[in-house]
Amino acid sequence: MKRYLVTGGTGFVGGHIARELISQGYEVLVTGSCPERVPKGSIFLPHNLNGIDFRMVGGIDGLFHLAANNNTTSDDYEQMIKSNFYAACDLFLAVLHHGNCEHFVYASSTAVYGNQPVPFVENQQLSPLNAYGRSKMRFDNYALEFANRYNVNMVGLRFCNVYGPGEEHKGPRASMITQLARKLMDGDRLKLFGDGSELREWIYVNDVVKANLLAMNFEGREIFNCATGIPYTFNEVVSALHGYFQEKYDPYFYKPNLDIEFIENPHLDRYQNHVKTDMSKAEKILGFTPDFDIKDGIKDYL
């Protein structure tokens, strides 16, 4: 039986990956900051990334590295680098030297592109706008050097606004789809930046799990976009959510406030105005195509 380590396995994406691996009969070890959310059937390692004793854990066949500080509004670059770069570097070396691991998959982000011309292509110039994006860009460079030096398989997946069930614990860091859905159901007035026409891509968490499993079986060293290639405006997302709720619920229970308040964006210096990815590399080399468009994803989620 293969053994996998999922860092961030008590979190949103990591939890979904861990549960899928368990359902397929693999032995799964997880780390995470939410011990109450440990996936059933997994082995919880109650340590931070630097505290895992791999002499006790033993060898693993593959590492899914999802743990990260994903606060995109933080200006604390030193803390972001400590969490997202140095801790990850130490982890990869420990897994390699003590765990004999040859397959590494980790979460990167489309935040590394900043406001470069779209569509975002994996080999284009990177220009992240915030500390989070800079930390991910730095680790992307390290991961490929690591893979070449130690002759291991390495895949970085640049996630783009993942949404789906299991985000409840994230609070204000939950996806905008989750936050907008809550407000619509509660009858709260929605607030959108500008006129709501900024374009974004969202990818359903089931598709992210699919991409990660494909990546674990990939032989090579590559970075791929992990998105849909199809952007939507915030106004279109609100419309899709409203359409679902309107069809699903009796008007007595669903009483949304559709008088949207459009506000000035206070984060213009760190805000991606237009997000659109080129997914041709992931499709051609990794064999990944998403199964859910925005409407199918919202329907399945809600």
Which pLDDT does position 75 carry in this prediction? 83
Say whether both 226 and 237 belong to one domain.
no
Q: How far apart are CA 108 and CA 118, in angstroms?
A: 18
Say whether both 74 and 183 belong to one domain.
no
Which pLDDT does position 173 carry in this prediction? 84
DSSP classification of residue 4: E
- Structural domain of residue 243, as residue ranges? 168-197+233-269
Confirm whether 96 is domain-assigned. yes
Burial class of residue 281 (count of CB atoms within 10 Å of its CB; 0-12, 13-18, 19+)? middle
Say whether both 138 and 247 belong to one domain.
no
Splitting the chain (302 residues) into consecutive groups of 10 residues, what average pLDDT does each group show? 94 97 97 90 87 82 94 86 94 88 96 94 94 96 97 97 90 90 94 92 97 98 97 95 93 91 83 91 98 94 92
Would the pTM count as exceeding 0.85? yes
Say whether both 14 and 129 belong to one domain.
yes
Confirm whether 297 is domain-assigned. no
How many domains does the chain fold into?
2
Instruction: Check which CATH number belongs to the domain holding 81 and give it.
Output: 3.40.50.720
Count CB neighbours of 138 within 10 A.
19
Say whether both 17 and 73 belong to one domain.
yes
Confirm whether 298 is domain-assigned. no
Q: How far apart are CA 285 and CA 69, in angstroms?
A: 29
Say whether both 47 and 152 belong to one domain.
yes
Say whether both 192 and 213 belong to one domain.
no
Which pLDDT does position 124 carry in this prediction? 95
Say whether both 159 and 259 belong to one domain.
no
Which pLDDT does position 98 carry in this prediction? 84
Confirm whether 262 is domain-assigned. yes
The pair phi, psi for residue 271, each rounded to 5°, is -110, 130
Confirm whether 74 is domain-assigned. yes
Q: How far apart are CA 23 and CA 18, in angstroms?
A: 9
Say whether both 77 and 215 belong to one domain.
yes
Confirm whether 182 is domain-assigned. yes
For the chain, what is the radius of gyration of the CA atoms? 19
Say whether both 159 and 172 belong to one domain.
no
Say whether both 83 and 209 belong to one domain.
yes
Confirm whether 302 is domain-assigned. no
Confirm whether 159 is domain-assigned. yes
Which pLDDT does position 272 carry in this prediction? 82
Encoded tokens for 22: 């368990």
DSSP element (H, E) containing 43: strand 43-44
Encoded tokens for 52: 């895992």
Say whether both 124 and 181 belong to one domain.
no
